[in-house]
Amino acid sequence: MTIKVMPKEVIERIAAGEVVQRPASVIKELVENSIDAGATRIDITFTDGGINYMEVSDNGSGIPKGEIPVALKRHATSKITSADDLNKIRTMGFRGEALPSVAAVSRLTVITSPQNGDGAGDAYRYTVKGGTSGDIEPAARGEGTTVKVEELFFNVPARKKFLKTVNTEKRHIIKTVKSLALSRTDIAFSLNEERNNIFKYTASNLKERFVAINGKKLWDKLIKVDFENPFLKVSGYMTKPELFYSNKNKINFMVNDRPVYSPLIFHALMQGYRSYIPPNKYPSSVLNLEIKPAAVDVNVHPAKKEVRFVNQQGIHKIISTVMKNILQNTSAVLEIEVPEKNTNFNLKSSKARRGFFKGRKGRPAELTSFRNIDPVEATKFTISSFDEGSSKSRRIGEAARPAGRIIPRFQLLKKYIVGEDLNGLLLIDQHTAWERINFEKLQKQYSDDTINSQRDMFPEVMELEPGETELLKENTGLLKRFGIEIENFGPGTFKIVATPVIAGRDKGGKETIGMIEEIIDLLDKSSVVPDSRDLSDKIIETIACRKSIKAGDSMDEKEINNMIKQLMRCRIPHRCPHGRPVIVRISEDELDKRFDRK
């Protein structure tokens, strides 16, 4: 086969394929051009999911008549003039590929009126169809630019076949414009499907725009993020732990005001939330990272969707630490508020599953207690630290003595400890309580390299597959740091001769084998974890979960008091390491309402 340069038409279509993936990507590029043109208002209109018609109109600087044809040429841009400029990019666009790429696979019309310079006040029309341009013609419009895109992929039918349904493409457009609207709250945005307005946002601040996009319910649930050091500034908002979702759709990141997708930032965010929300649940957030342009590469993706940081680990550590510090300051008991409209309070019908969390896909998962109380609201209420004898016990019969300001009363269903404090009735999940206690103890001991182990008189024996066998052998030294000692007991067989000493009653037995199996799985996946601290915390979580007292275990008065004392000394006493609640409260006011005292 002969090597030869491809025809211009083929080159343009290949380039268009990198930039123009669907109607939403066209709108993204056009809106970014409007932002760079200094627009304060951007109006977007589309029909048929953008497949047949899209229009982006702004009040920006416009394009001088002589530069209109140049703007449609590949690699033509006003953003950079030399290679050095790539290290200081602040604009949304810079590659000079968007307009020619769109024009190569559609019928594109530019109507523009420049704000100043030669020909100011005059408007011009310029049309390109499938890469073939026409003449510049007089037009009528105010200052700014309108770009119309029609018949997308008319000349690339194979690409058109890969587009989804009209409704799917519409959803992608809405998501894209909302993301851009979050990045520039000083700009007014409107999105219209033909003559029907989908949304309209006036210029505002970040919190108002975030709430306008995601719902008024968020207003009181947001925590402000404001961190800065000489290397990085992180600002924005994140939701309090009591509000979480079943998908990642409400997580938004920007780097220097540019919306981006970043697995690194996402992982760091979730690291911060890990001990505060349940597994497979997600917060809502809008975070902007401001960093020197030379420290971030925005030129790693044709559509500028992703970025790469010079110091990936440093960025990850800063963000995860900032998130943890902020959330730690929101440490709280979850208080159950029972709506007055529901008068049924039948404890016998209670069927709460896995603690108190239950949610539906795509909806906020509210804190729920009894099945027939719907809904309930989780609000912040702090726990008093342990101080034996500092509060008088309001005894009922032979009730247990007060453990600090929490007065334990009895064990319920071999699962919960019922108690009280000065503010109402408390329900404590005995497993998550011991899990939190053991997690923090082991975490401290691991950090100090002082985890003690106890040898088992009758070691558990487990069999492993060849790959697992090699993985276990390679990590025997690491496991020993966690107080776990394992000996070879034959081909593919091992004895678990020692395990870490924990607080409370050690479950041991089959739980020990399950613990080792989970740890092997974590070790197998550890190659994708950015830092060793993440792996160590997950291993400690597994140990604490597997070896702590479970639901179904009886606890006597001494064990209950000991548990509460140790829990009150924990750094985060109100949630287990997986994010499930440890303590919930039904306030005295709510109880009075249920018994018609108020």
Complete DSSP assignment for 467-504: HHHHHHHHTHHHHHHTT-EEEE-STTEEEEEEEE--SS
Could you tell me the pLDDT band of residue 355, with boundaries at 50, 70 and 90? very low
Model pLDDT, residue 398: 35
pLDDT at residue 418 greater than cutoff 70: yes
Please name the residues in contact with 171: beta carbons below 8 A apart, sequence gap of 6 or more.
none
Query: How far apart are alpha carbons 587 and 482 in whole angstroms?
Result: 41
Which region holds residue 8: left if phi is over 0, alpha if psi is between -120 and 50, else beta?
A: alpha
The CA distances from residue 329 to 267, 366, 379, 495, in Å, are 21, 21, 15, 43
Give the count of beta carbons closer than 10 Å to the beta carbon of residue 189.
24
Length of the chain in terms of residues written: 598
41-47 vs 53-58, strand pairing mode: antiparallel
Q: pLDDT digit string (tens) for 490-507?
A: 999 999 999 999 988 877
Q: Which of 83, 85, 104 is nearest to 29 (CA)?
A: 104
Give the pair of three-digit tokens for residue 586: 């039904």
Query: How far apart are alpha carbons 575 and 153 in whole angstroms?
Result: 52
Query: How far apart are alpha carbons 113 and 59 in whole angstroms?
Result: 9
pLDDT at residue 338 greater than cutoff 60: no
Please check whether residue 552 is in contact with residue 455, taking contact to mean a CB–CB distance below 8 angstroms. Answer: no
Amino acid letter, 186 = D
Model pLDDT, residue 303: 58
Q: Which of 387, 349, 365, 171 is nearest to 279 (CA)?
A: 365
Could you tell me the pLDDT band of residue 107, with boundaries at 50, 70 and 90? very high
pLDDT at residue 404 greater than cutoff 60: no
Q: In degrees, to the nearest 5, what angle opens at C-alpha 208 toward C-alphas 203 and 213? A: 90
Which is more confidently placed, 385 or 197? 197
pLDDT at residue 193 greater than cutoff 90: yes
pLDDT at residue 549 greater than cutoff 70: yes
Which is more confidently placed, 386 or 419? 419
Query: How far apart are alpha carbons 7 and 57 in whole angstroms?
Result: 33
Output the average pLDDT for the chain: 83
**241-250, 283-292, 333-342: which has the minimum mean pLDDT?**
333-342
Q: pLDDT digit string (tens) for 509-523?
A: 778 999 999 999 998
Give the pair of three-digit tokens for residue 581: 């609640």
pLDDT at residue 382 greater than cutoff 90: no
Q: Which of 289, 277, 414, 295 is nearest to 357 (CA)?
A: 277
Q: Is the CA virtual torsion 95, 96, 102, 105 positive or negative?
A: negative
Model pLDDT, residue 83: 64
Give the count of beta carbons closer than 10 Å to the beta carbon of residue 120.
12
**255-269, 345-359, 396-410, 539-553: which has the minimum mean pLDDT?**
345-359
pLDDT at residue 387 greater than cutoff 60: no
Amino acid letter, 289 = L
Nearest 10 degrees: CA dihedral of 24, 176, 276, 236? 150
pLDDT at residue 13 greater than cutoff 70: no
pLDDT at residue 342 greater than cutoff 50: no
* DSSP character at residue 415: T
Amino acid letter, 317 = K
Model pLDDT, residue 1: 74
Q: What percent of the chain clears pLDDT 90, i.e. is strictly above it?
A: 58
What is the distance in angstroms between the CA of the first residue and the CA of the last residue of the chain? 89
Q: pLDDT digit string (tens) for 199-241?
A: 999 999 999 999 999 988 899 999 999 999 999 999 999 999 8
285-291 vs 53-58, strand pairing mode: unpaired
Model pLDDT, residue 240: 92
pLDDT mean over 147-161: 92
Q: pLDDT digit string (tens) for 58-81?
A: 999 999 999 999 988 877 777 676
* DSSP character at residue 382: P
Q: Which of 125, 128, 131 is nearest to 146 (CA)?
A: 125
Domains, the chain, ranges and CATH?
8-201 (3.30.565.10), 206-328 (3.30.230.10), 333-433+553-594 (3.30.1540.20), 452-500+508-547 (3.30.1370.100)
Q: pLDDT digit string (tens) for 289-320?
A: 999 988 988 766 665 677 889 999 999 999 99
pLDDT mean over 342-360: 34
pTM comes to 0.72
Which is more confidently placed, 212 or 335? 212
Model pLDDT, residue 598: 79
Phi, psi torsion values for 486, nearest 5 degrees: -130, 140
Could you tell me the pLDDT band of residue 330, with boundaries at 50, 70 and 90? confident
Please check whether residue 27 is in contact with residue 98, taking contact to mean a CB–CB distance below 8 angstroms. Answer: no
**Which segments of 202-298 are extended strands (E)?**
222-228, 232-239, 251-255, 258-260, 285-291, 296-297
The CA distances from residue 162 to 17, 168, 174, 367, in Å, are 12, 12, 19, 41
